[in-house]
Structure 1
Amino acid sequence: MAQPPYDPYGYGSQDPYAQQYSQPQSVQHHYYGSGPPVPPRNNGMAIASMVLGIVGVLSCGVLVFSIGAVIFGHVAQSQIKRTGEGGNGMAVTGLILGYLFFVIGLLYWIVIVGIYGAAWWSLSQDPTY
């Protein structure tokens, strides 16, 4: 009588310790699409507006930074409306800081020029000078 081939597991050709799992089906939701949602890119002009607004705060009265923040903020908002990019909050932040510190810097320079002008005028009117 012929002997059957050696069966190491004693259960036929199947390994009892091998785990046979089926791959889970991927769940597709209508709001996920093919992957996680990707946030829109931030507009570069919006970033520049916010940075110039912060630099305008830190420079205390240098009007160039505030004017730049206002210009970049308005350009960024128009681009964001047209292209759908992100960064509207940064553009608004740059606009608020730009306008606020433009007014503060303008008032500062008006006061300084007024003080020096009044001092010069009073010295020019003094006959003993």
Structure 2
Amino acid sequence: MSNPEQPAYPAQQQPAQPQYGAPQPYGTQPQYGGQPQYGAQPYGAQPGSPYPYAYAPEPRTNVLAIISLVSAFFVSLAAVITGHIALAQIKRTGENGRGLALAGLIIGYVGIGAGVLFFLAWLPLFFAVMGHSMSTSGISS
């Protein structure tokens, strides 16, 4: 019934094992294309740089912007003038302080407006008092 030279079950084929090259010693990692060797600089790093990222100092604050904000509480006209000059310098140089210059300008213009309103409200009152005092001063001719 069965042939002794032929096995009862057909031989199972084993899948082919992938070839990876020469065997590595125990504990070492195989080197692939993108990984640097130990001690080598990674891609994009500056040689001899003590910091992993480049240090860029923050831009300084414009001095006229600070002066504009401080003077807005005392001399509104100076705040407006220095605020406009500071905004022009900040646009040209890229310094910090745009918010300070804008705050100085806004507070300065509000101060100038309040001064004008105060002057316009008190001017008629001043003339009324001066006119009344002239007519009742008791000097007759």
CA 125–71 in structure 1, closer or farther in 2 if over 3 Å, else same = same
Percent sequence identity is 35
Larger fraction in helix = 1
Q: Which has the higher contact order (CA 8 A, sep 6+)?
A: 1
* Gapped regions of structure 1 (runs ≥ 5): 1-21, 57-64
Any residues of structure 2 matched to 1:1-129 within 5 Å, and which? 33-35=53-55, 37-53=56-72, 55-56=73-74, 65-126=75-136, 128=138
The count of aligned residue pairs is 95
Structure 1 equivalent of residue 26 of structure 2: none
CA 96–27 in structure 1, closer or farther in 2 if over 3 Å, else same = farther
Q: Give the RMSD, CA atoms, in angstroms.
A: 2.8
Q: CA deviation at 1:74?
A: 0.2
With normalisation by structure 1, the TM-score equals 0.61
With normalisation by structure 2, the TM-score equals 0.57
Instruction: Please identify the structure whose Cα radius of gyration is greater.
Output: 2
Runs of 4+ that moved beyond 3 A:
25-29, 125-129
Q: CA deviation at 1:26?
A: 8.4
